[in-house]
Structure 1
Amino acid sequence: MARDYVRRSKPKSKSNSRPARGGSRNRAPQRRIPWLAIILVLLLAGALGYLISLVKGSAGQHRPEAPPTVTHTQAPPAPVNPIDQKPVEKWRYIEQLENKEVVVHVPEAEESTQPYLMQCGSFRSAAQAEQLKARIAFQGLEAQVRRSTGSNGVWYRVILGPYDSKRLAETHKHKLLRSNVNHCAIWLWEG
């Protein structure tokens, strides 16, 4: 059986009990007036008004200086309004900067007769060297795998270059660093 809980009223008691005191349901407690906050706001407003009146009153009580004594007869100078006057610049750096000449000595770039090489890896297996060479090729650069034999055995080196300038080698090195190809070293090629 379905019940309607929304419209359900209080069940009537069969006993003859007295209704609750006060005659009606629970009353909301009466709100108290915040006298302390009202007094503080009024005091602050009064203090602000007093300060404003002091500032206004002191602006009109400017005491003029005593005029200088003049021995010969001249017409008094016309009063000058400070707002109408053009401000006088205190700084001279603007004029100094306009007339300043900066001389920069740029040394001539020394052209090296020896080209630069960049080594980006050295591996024991040729497969690892070829993988790095492929990663470098994806960046648009051409690398070579060179086999070298030394006292430690056979090594496969991944080398870029030769570069005519160190600047171009550095540019390619930074491009490889951005693509997570680390540990590249630039050195002069000695034949």
Structure 2
Amino acid sequence: MDYANRKRPPKRTPPKKSTRGKSQQSTKPAVPWLVVLLAVILVGGFAWLLSAISGRSQQPTPQSVDVPPAQQQPTAQPQKDPLPEQPEEPWDYIEVLENQEVVVDVPERELGPPKLMQCGSFRNKSDAEEMRAMIAMMGLESQIRTTDGGNGVWHRVILGPYESKRDAERDRHKLERGNLHGCQIWNWN
């Protein structure tokens, strides 16, 4: 069936209603007079409230009359009893804790063998130099070590030696923030 070239079906028209015997009613909706009356009352009440509030600020405030110092009579203040002595606390741990010294035994950090981080191993020295330049742009210093093994010559890009693994991890995270992933931390040989 060819949907693109087919004809549209004819429109159906609803049957006409007869108007015989029915009086024509206006098509305007009826105004809800109760809602209009309620809105007018609310607006009027709000206006009255605002005028009542603003009228209070305009009322004159009573002025204090200054009495000359000769006519003022000293007021006798009743003698207050001094405060009673503060009761002694029944607890003695406050003094004990203030004078106590806490001794903590912190073991020395064991440093393992030095660490090195290898970020790449390449057959071509130019590739190793390119990676070394990328590492230098991130603010770290790296070296290229050339090794001749049973499977050919390799150029390794390494960083280190590091005293602890934490120092090596810090530099590795710095390299990862610069989009250089895949660096491995190994013990120094």
Report the TM-score, using the length of structure 1 for normalisation: 0.45
Please report the TM-score for the alignment, with normalisation by the length of structure 2: 0.46
